[in-house]
Chain A
Amino acid sequence: MQAPVPSHDGSGRPDGAPVVELHGVSVIYGRQTALRDVSAAFPAGAVGLLGPNGAGKSTMLKALLGFVVPSQGRMRVLGLDVATSALDIRARLGYMPESDAHIPGMSAVAFVAYCGQLAGLPPADAMQRAHEVLYYVGLGEARYRNVETYSTGMKQRIKLAQALVHDPDLLFLDEPTNGMDPKGRDEMLELIRDLAHNKGVNLIVSSHLLPDIEFTCDHVIVMDKGAVATQGALDAVRGPQGRVFELRVKDGADQMLALLTAAGYEVHDTQEDVMRVFVPGDAGAEPIFRLAAANGLQVRHLKQSVPTLEDAFARAVGAD
């Protein structure tokens, strides 16, 4: 029997083995079930954890960090059991929380170096790494300023810097673009993409923003109401094997929606009177035209579109 090939992150996991695994995990807060019998496998690379607010994404990350203890189930991170090796896991993990967080009374460079030391780096190395990662995240010029004076966008960057300073094998990024302006958001997404695709850092990006996941990740796990709705490679989840049409009809959107649904098509409302119709296989727009004509509806706009993650997301969570 052939011995498994160790992974490149030094964990001893076989190549291709998931970096994070959950088996039947449930987390209950009082009477509220935040995670319901969740089983999922996060492969190496960049994985998106996608879902609406309250879907259980942050709870999952907090459970993996050992912040909340599941009422049932098992979790493994980088091949280690979360229940028994939480500290060893955290030594190799970086966490960028969703909420604003910093150590009070410190300049950015002191804060990041301090975080490096907390993660086990010697003081001199921690300080050197602090300077490096602050430049990397674009805060080089502001590194001697007190973190409390930073703007929202800068605070997001410093949270990334403190998560990176000890060079983790796995990064948890919880809503990394929260509160950022469009330019800052694009830069943050570039950084995340660079980390995952060029720097060899495994990462899990939790977000409710589909474009963020599409831009940065290779795999996606879609969550809804505390359960996994769907998971897989981004292309596979985005799917299909079919075409998506943007459709607008004159005075009869609801009727058309009902007709298409009755005919077995997947239809999602997007904005106002535009709907996205998923036509499986190679069939073109002709069936849609026929259906509209047969019912006296006038098609005003019909345009072929690319199936997006949004379609997959809507399918997975059962949205209209």
Chain B
Amino acid sequence: MPIHDQGYQRYAGSRASTGTAWQVIARAGIRTVLAERKFLALLLLAWAPFLVRAVQVYVAANYAQASFLQPKGETFREFLETQAVFVFFITIYVGAGLIASDRRANALQLYLAKPLSRWEYVAGKMAVLLTLLISVTFLPAMMLLLVQIGFAGSLTFLRANLYLLPAITLYSLAQVLLASSTMLALSSLSKSSRFVGVMYAGLIFFTGALFQAVRGITGASWLAWLSPSDALEQLGDAIFRLPLRYELPLWAAAAVVVGLIVASGVVLERRVRAVEVVS
């Protein structure tokens, strides 16, 4: 007896309404990454600076002779700057294959034949990267603030630096949105995740090196707009109420970050399609 004679049942159960499939994509993506030991090791490493800072906060709170270690608003800015290294590596590790692997396996036509829009697909993929990047930026920064409150035993520091709550939120958001959207756009351009990783690293290093070279020759730091990373740092200084490191106007720094996110959206709109038409 052919095996299919065992029967095919019609399905009479419930179905979710359209608009929720992005959550399925996000859950599956996060679960897949968290199942990898290499990634878990990277995640643990990304939390090491938090432990160091937590010890600093503990010592400063409990030993008067270590009061010079007292955290300031700047401490949180420095912490997030340190985390940028892990943002870079996690973005490459997780993000490079997010769309490129689907393109290699012709999976886009499978996804888009289901009741989900192209933007829902992108939202699902972006949610994977955003969640993991937030877990090494916003989450530890906020926890550090809580640790400070806990060890100090008062809200004095928080009251004096209330701007830190929106500053951490806003800067983390800018940091992870810029990395996620740029990486997803690059990932949609190729079928090779390795190539995408190289492109992303190239983009970061090349633009940074270009800015430093031009700055070295001309001495003009307003050319920081050439490097998205430096434009983001400039924006970070302003968000954390610190002296600006470059002569680049704030609006220009913001325009670079927003412009890159918008450009990534345009690339995704053109590249995430079930059918690639070559005319």
Contacts and interface: CB of A to CB of B under 8 A. Distances in A.
Interface in B254-279: 273-275, 277, 279
A200 interface: yes
Interface string A118-137: 11111001000100110111
Interface string B1-41: 01111111111011111101100110010001000000000
A190 B9 CA distance: 17
A101 B106 contact: yes
Interface in A165-203: 166-167, 187, 190-191, 194-195, 199-200
Nearest to A28: B279
Interface residues of B, number: 43
B109 A67 contact: yes
A100 B18 contact: no
Contacts of A29: 277, 279
Interface stretch (B111-119, B143-151, B231-239): B111-119
Contacts of A30: 277, 279
Nearest to A89: B115
Interface string A24-58: 00000111100000000000000000000000000
A232 to B, nearest CB: 28
Contact of B2 (A65, A140, A187): A187
Interface stretch (B97-105, B154-162, B206-214, B243-251): B97-105
Contact of A102 (B16, B32, B105): B105
Most chain A CB within a 10 A radius of its CB, from B7, B24, B111, B274: B24
A70 to B, nearest CB: 13
Given A62-B274, A62-B275, A122 B7 contact: no
Contacts of A102: 105-107, 110
Most chain B CB within a 10 A radius of its CB, from A99, A103, A129: A103
B105 A103 contact: yes
A93 B279 contact: no
A104 B115 contact: no
Interface in B64-100: 97
B17 A103 contact: no
Most chain A CB within a 10 A radius of its CB, from B4, B273, B275: B4
A266 to B, nearest CB: 38
A235 B90 CA distance: 61
Given A135-B3, A138-B3, A118 B21 contact: yes
A117 interface: yes
A24 to B, nearest CB: 21
Given A135-B3, A137-B4, A101 B117 contact: no
B115 A135 contact: no
30 contacts: A30-B277, A65-B112, A67-B273, A87-B116, A87-B117, A90-B114, A91-B115, A95-B113, A99-B106, A101-B105, A101-B106, A101-B107, A102-B105, A102-B107, A103-B107, A104-B97, A104-B104, A115-B110, A117-B21, A118-B25, A119-B114, A122-B14, A122-B16, A125-B11, A135-B3, A163-B113, A167-B10, A194-B5, A195-B8, A199-B8
Query: A-B pairs with the 3 shortest C-beta distances?
Result: A30-B279, A167-B11, A95-B113
Given A118-B116, A122-B13, 13 more contacts: A67-B275, A68-B277, A97-B113, A102-B107, A103-B110, A105-B32, A120-B18, A121-B13, A132-B8, A140-B3, A162-B110, A187-B2, A195-B8
